[in-house]
Structure formats: structure tokens, C-alpha cells
A and B are shown apart, each in its own frame.
Chain A
Amino acid sequence: MDENKILSLQDVIFTYEGEVVALQNLSLTARRGEFVVVLGANGAGKSTLCYLLSGIAPHIYGGRRRGIVSVAGIDPWDEPLYVTSQVCGTLMQDPEVQLFMPTIRTELAFGPSNLGVPREEILRRSKAALSLVRMDGLEERNPRDLSGGQKQRAALASVLTMQPRVLVLDEPTSQLDPAGRWEVGEAIERLKRSGDLTIVMTTHETEEILHLADQVIVLERGETALMGTPAEVFSQTARLEQAGVKTPALILFQSRVFSGRTTGKNAGERKITLTVDEVAQRVESAVQAGELKVRQTIPASPIPHPAEGNSGTEKNGHTILLEARGISVQYPGPPAVTALKDVSMQVSQGEIVGIVGQNGSGKSTLVKCFVGLLRPSKGEVFFNGESIRKIPVGEMSRRVGLVLQNPDYQLFTASCLDEVRFGLRNVGVAEEEIQPRAEQALRRVGLSEVADLFPFRLSFGDRRKLAVAATLALEPQVLILDEPTTAQDHRGRYQLADLAKRFHDEQGGTVLMITHDVDLIAHYANRLIVLYNGQVLLDGPTAEVFTQVEKLRRSFVVPPVATQLAIKLAPLGVPPDIMTLDQLYAVLGS
């Protein structure tokens, strides 16, 4: 037997109570120090695999299992959780629910102290774990006061103090902003390089793990769709697409431009270490060799333009719908936080505006001011030229609809139809009008078939669509989406944005999207606003803003891969304001 083999699953089948088969015939082995990445669409079985390794199934989530599971020599099925926790640590998606102690110091000590580890040893482990996640000196901080990335790193450190031999990371960066993702990614990288810990990580962010992975497994409806080294798995772009997994943009680009020679390296290599620089260099060589040609015109932009305005307050011929004039917002402390500082902007009818920025940069505060949920301490917000100061939020909801990130904060009725009817009743729509309007709203988001279903039986993506339906039923002129891609897999990530686009195209609506997803912005927004520290850092046409690489970096915003490549290839004549791979393909021809 291989002594270094620390993780082994053989023909594992897992069925949840209620006869939902989550995993089928899954086999996997990992050696000490290996980094295994598990990919797949939502519902593919990634989290179930994590639960099986960490013992959460069956000890918290019940079910039936067949096959053999061995984690560092034990079967988590047969051992109580506190035993499994000594060999297998688990980090979940949401850092908020993993931190429950008042200080980082006590949080880190919580696990080992439960196991009776001597005090001095606990202090030593805590110090080492904090140092590894680069949080030295923050021992006395309350975890609730930390940024998202810091919280997740603190949660990671609290798992490391248990000194597990296997670490299970279940989408650890999915709820973080770009800075947070970078911080946690860096901590995981240090962990990977620092010892012989075996890491199993599930994710949708293929770009981030490419350089770390030793082994990649793609799950599809509980079964293994692909398995192998990163080079082997990511060379099968069509199969990845079929399984709902995002192929990293650089690989996709090369596969298209260089006709299948994806990496430019030997197919047998275990790792892919591609960077924008390397790919740009490859393109440059191909152009010099005459294999590729550069057409110096950008193909017609798919991005919509604002509708022509002809009344009310106007700017460049467009009606100004929303306007912030010098607004400032301060949250009382302790400590007091200034969320917006003297922000002024105008949004015209028919625009699709992307708003990006780090968590805490003021994005949510800004849109809450637009709907009247927050009243600025200084300055004023106008809708169609009228101050909204005295307009109640309920009244504003008929003009500006805001769809929050988490639909579960609003769903409470017994059916989807009732959920849509609720808002219509509140705004005083006539009873005979309510039913057809609610049905139409559900039709618009594709939920007519489930109109009578209990909303909590829908998937998260569909619950978000229901929230959009409830908002659109009120017939607002402006639709604001807060993080439309959150918790969505590659296949479902643009569903809400597509609905917003239809609202724009068919009803002439104006759309604002708060997001960290630069590809989403590149595909849909004609204007991009970057907020930084409560102020507008950049505001302009999307393509133009994306070329301001240095300024964007201050806000941890990285332009889409296509833009990064275009900037690098600008000396060859490639226009730098390219935003999508399709535009880049059209510019580079053989």
C-alpha cells in the first residue's frame, strides 16, 4: 500500500434522506501534500463530497452511503465528528457562520481547547496559524469587525489550529470581493507550499486555482465527468462547457486562436502556469511569423446605448432619471464610518451602468440612497428632477426597483404567485389588475410553471428570479441588481443580467448592476462607475474605464482577460479598448 496515500474513495454512492442521489460511483485518491480541485455546476455533488470527507454526512446531514471512504486512515462515517475533526479540517463558504467567538485569539483556541490540547501548545499553534494567514497582531480583534477576506482567513486559521492532515475547502472564496479572494487565495497558496497538508477544494473560479492544482476532478450530476492533471482536464473545453464548468479565459482563447494547442506546453505536464504575459508573447510570435493577422478595428460593440431622451432634465440629449448631488453618508459607531463622501453622479434613461468597488467602498450605500432606504446626511438624491427626500420608500419602489443579493430576506408567502402579489397590494394596485400583472411578471422571469410552489422549494437561482419578478411587477423605471452573479455557477451566472437586459431592451428600462464580475460588466454595461473609499474613482464608458489599469488596481479591480491581452498587444495594433474574447477573436485572424 502507498504510505503517502492519505485520501481514498472507492465506488462511493451517497443518497440523502428523501432518496436524492448526490454522488454516484465516485473514486478518488490523493497523496500527502496534493492539491485536489473539485469543479462542477451547482448541484453536481461538490459539497456532498466535502461533507463525506469531513463527517458532516451522516453526523449532521443524514443519508445512506455505499463504497469505501478513508481519510488519514479513518472512515468518517464510523467516527464521531470530534475524532474526524482531528484529521480533517473543514472551511465553508460563509465566513460569518464560522466565527462565533469574541476575539480572534479565542476563536483560534476554540477547536484545540475542546480537544483538551495543553494551553501552551494551543498558544503556539495559534501564533503559527495566524502568521501563516498573515494576521499577526490581530489576536484581540473581534472577528465581526474584520473585512470579508480577513474573516475567511481567520476561519482558515481556526481550522489549522486543529492540525488536520486533510483540509477541505468548500468554495472558500465564493462570497468574497476581489481583494478578499486574493487574500484567501494567497493564504491557501502559502499553505500548499508550506507543508504536506492534503487540500481538497471545490470552486467555480477556475482561473484562481489553475496554478495550484495537482489533480482536477469535474463532477456532473454526482458522477465523475473528467479527472486528471489540470492540463489534461482543461484541454477538453467542450466537455467542460457541457458539465457547466468555466474554462479559464486564457485557455479558451488559445484553444480558439491556436486551434486546440491550448497551453503551448507538453500535454503530459501536470501544471498549467499561464499568464497574460506568456499568452501575449505567444500571440506576438505568431503575428511575427505570419500565422496571425491583426485587423485594427474593433467589431461592433454588443453593448446597448442609452435611449434618446426628449423631456425633463437632460444631459447630452438623454433624460436624467437618477441624480446624486454631493451626497455623504455616515454610519454611527463606534467607530463611526463614512460610507459616501460628497458623491455626485447622473444616470440617464436607458443606460446600463455597472458599479464596482471593494466591499465597504460604498456601492450598497449608494443604491440604498437611490431607493430612499438611506437618507444622506449631506446632499440630495433626485429622481426625474424631483428630490426624493420626502418620498416614502414604498412609493419609490414603483420608480426604482432594487433586487437584493439574498432573496431569502423577503420571501415569506406560501406560493410564488402570492410573493409577487404582495408588493402589488402594498402599492395599492386595483385587485382585478393584481392577478394578471403577477402572472405576467412570473412569465417574464420564466417561473410560470412553478407559480403555486412554495418559494423555499426553488433553487437559489430561481428564488433570485422570483425576487426580480416581484420587483418588476411594480413596473419601475430603474432596476438595480445587487451582485447578480452571487452563488451562481458558470451556466446560471448571467440569468439575472439577461432579465435586466430584456427589461432594458423591451421596456426601455434603466439598469444599475453592482458586481465584482468584470466579465458581466464587459458583456452588459455601457458605462462603468468605480467606487473607492466612498468616492467615485472612475466613471465613463466601460471600455474606456477598463483601460485605466493603474487606477483600477487601487480598487482591486482587474480588467477582463480580453482587455488585459489587448493592452499587452497594443504595440501590434490591437485596439486596447477590447472587452470580450469575441471582440479579440475578430481582431486577430489567421
Chain B
Amino acid sequence: MRAPVFRYTHLGTPIHRLHPLVKFLYVMLTLVLVMYPIRITDIPILLIWLGFSAVLWLIARIELRRFTTLMKILVGTFIFLLLIQGFTYRGGHTPLITFGHLRLWEADLGVITREGVVFGLVLCVRILVATSSLPLFVMTTPTSGIMTAMGKLRIPQTATFMFVSALSFTTLLFEMWGSIVDAQKLRAFDIDSMNVIKRAFKAYIPILTPLILLLFRKANDFQIAMETKGFGAPIKPTEIEVLTARPADYAWLAFIIAVFVTCTVLKFGG
């Protein structure tokens, strides 16, 4: 019974105590950083931000093993990106491995180029940076804090609630996935022991079909539970959570902005 990814864990670390809006700003700045126009020379800047995020993760005492499934998906994506960029990148032609020659416009599809691999690497780091911030936010901020913070930003309550429900549904999804995989294993259908290709082509139907049917049913039950508690009433909801900023929040805010400005200056001024 591993705690599911994205689920808030109550710990008293400085990151957990940090004002939700400061953490939300960190998520936004991360997204801005990865949206900057991409260049091969961006790696150091991305690594600075990734290192900064890693420090935040360490302080927040987030266990990496909760991300085993996510990491597996990411590793697959990274290998795909490195290969595809290695073969098709058109910004350089230094051969790293040559299988033959198959020219297609400016690329030689028979050669993995050094520039292509490096560019693939930049993309991988960029994805890693992008995926590192949101889990930190949702795993260290209670949902009530997230809702209040989003309320302060004047995000409509329905949108906020959809986001929060999606987080809650993720936990449920993981639990149901595990139960369905177990149920099918009992009929000698073991998805965990299949190779990637077999999984992709035939394994998911016995898992996804019951999952989708069950999710529809659960969603219906959730709707009943929510609407019988007045959700959707044309009334301004009461704010229960009171968020107060402490000096430490301002210090963190300044520090996050400073790191972001440094990265931006390095990117555009270097």
C-alpha cells in the first residue's frame, strides 16, 4: 500500500509550511522557464533550476520511490527523444554512431549525430524541470490551501474544484488500477511480466475496459455526493481557510525570484 503519487503528505518541513501562493509562483516560474525558446546552450540554465528544485524536494522530504511509475514513463520518453533527435536533428552533422546513409531533406536517418543527442538531452532536462514542480506543489500543500490560494487568484470555484477532484481521482485511479491488474493476474493474465510491445498491443484492453467502466460509475457516485452537499449552488461559497504570510514566506519568495532572474539573465544575456 504505497502512498500514491501526487497525494499530500502531512510533514512539518519548511516547504510544507511555505505559503501556497509562493509555491504556486514557483510552479508558474518553472513553466515560464521551460517555455523560453529552446537552444542547445540552455542546458546549464535548466540544470540550475533543476538543482534548485532538487533542493526543494530534499527539504520537503519527498520520497523518490513514489515516482517509480512516472519515472518509468519518463525514461521511455527520454530514450525515444534521444533516438529521434539523434537521427533527425538538422542543426549539426557530427556523427556519433553510423548505421548507413538514408538522406531525408537535411537529415541523414542512418546516422546518430552528436548535436542531435545533445538537443535530445536538452529536451529531456526541460521535461524533467517541467514535471518536477507540480508534484512538489501538490504533495506539500493541503488541498484546502490549494483551493484558498486559487480563490485568492480569482480562479472560479468550479475550475479549482475540478483540479482538486482530479487530484483525488488520481489516488482512486491508482488503487483501481492495482486491483484490476491483480484480478487479471488471477486469471493468468500478468501485464507486469509482458514486454513493452506486447503490453502496447494487447495488454491494456483487459485492464482499461474495467477501469473505464468503474470510473464512470465512481464519477456518478461522486456527482451525487457533491450535489447533495450543495455543490453548484448559485451562492458565493464561504472561504474557510485563512492564509497568512510569514517573514519566511517573503524570504523564500525573494529567493525563488532571484534564482529565476539569474536563469533568465544567463539565458538572454549570456
Contact = CB atoms under 8 A, between A and B. Distances in A.
A binds B: yes
Contacts of B65: 332
A54 B229 contact: no
A373 B180 contact: no
A409 B210 contact: yes
A149 interface: no
A585 interface: no
Contact of B229 (A162, A410, A470): A162
B225 A100 contact: yes
A98 B225 contact: yes
Nearest to B65: A332
Contact of B236 (A59, A116, A373, A426): A116
B174 to A, nearest CB: 12
B240 A115 contact: no
Contact of B210 (A412, A422, A474): A412
A85 B229 contact: yes
B218 A97 contact: yes
A402 B226 CA distance: 35
B214 interface: yes
Interface stretch (A102-110, A208-216, A253-261): A102-110
Contact of B206 (A368, A371, A412, A427): A412
Contacts of A110: 229, 231
Interface stretch (B36-44, B98-106, B117-125, B181-189): B181-189
Contacts of B1: 331-332, 337
B186 A82 contact: no
B186 A404 contact: yes
Given A394-B188, A409-B179, A426-B188, A116 B222 contact: no
Contact of B228 (A56, A113, A115): A56
A374 B101 CA distance: 51
A101 B143 contact: yes
Interface string A75-117: 0000011101110011010101110111101100111111111
B154 interface: no
A350 interface: no
Interface in B216-242: 217-218, 220-233, 235-241
Given A56-B224, A103-B144, A140 B10 contact: yes
A119 B235 contact: no
B144 A59 contact: no
A422 B189 contact: yes
A119 B239 contact: yes
Contact of A89 (B142, B185, B228): B228
Contacts of B241: 106
B73 interface: no
A113 B237 contact: yes
Which of B3, B187, B190 gathers the greatest number of chain A CB atoms within 10 Å?
B187
A217 to B, nearest CB: 22
Contacts of B193: 392
Contacts, number: 184
A150 to B, nearest CB: 17
A118 B235 CA distance: 12
A110 B161 CA distance: 11
Contacts of B94: none
A456 interface: yes
A134 interface: no
A332 B10 contact: no
Interface in B58-95: 63, 65
Question: Most chain-B CB neighbours within 10 Å: which of A90, A106, A109, A118?
Answer: A106
Nearest to A111: B229
A305 B262 CA distance: 79
A81 B10 CA distance: 34
Contact of A334 (B3, B143, B217): B3
B188 A54 contact: no
A257 to B, nearest CB: 44
Contacts of A471: 186-187
B188 A114 contact: no
Contact of B221 (A59, A85, A94, A470): A94
B13 interface: no
A49 to B, nearest CB: 15
Given A60-B227, A92-B221, A392-B190, A373 B182 contact: yes
A97 B225 contact: yes
Interface in B104-135: none
Given A100-B222, A408-B210, A81 B228 contact: yes
A158 interface: yes
B186 A402 contact: yes
Contacts of B223: 60
Nearest to B179: A409
Contact of A427 (B188, B227, B239): B188
Contact of A422 (B176, B185, B187, B222): B187
Interface in A368-382: 368, 371, 373
Interface of B: 1-3, 8-10, 63, 65, 142-144, 164-165, 168, 171-172, 176, 179-180, 182-190, 193, 205-206, 209-210, 213-214, 217-218, 220-233, 235-241
6 contacts: A100-B165, A102-B142, A113-B239, A331-B2, A395-B188, A410-B187
Given A106-B240, A423-B187, A423-B189, 13 more contacts: A54-B228, A60-B224, A81-B232, A82-B232, A82-B235, A103-B142, A106-B241, A114-B230, A115-B235, A116-B237, A116-B238, A144-B171, A412-B206
Considering the complex of A and B, which 4 residue pairs feature the smallest CB-CB distances, nearest first? A394-B188, A426-B188, A111-B229, A114-B230
Interface of A: 54-56, 59-60, 80-82, 84-86, 89-90, 92, 94, 96-98, 100-103, 105-106, 109-119, 122-123, 140, 142, 144, 158-159, 162, 331-334, 337, 368, 371, 373, 392-395, 397-398, 401-402, 404, 406, 408-412, 422-423, 426-427, 456, 470-471, 474
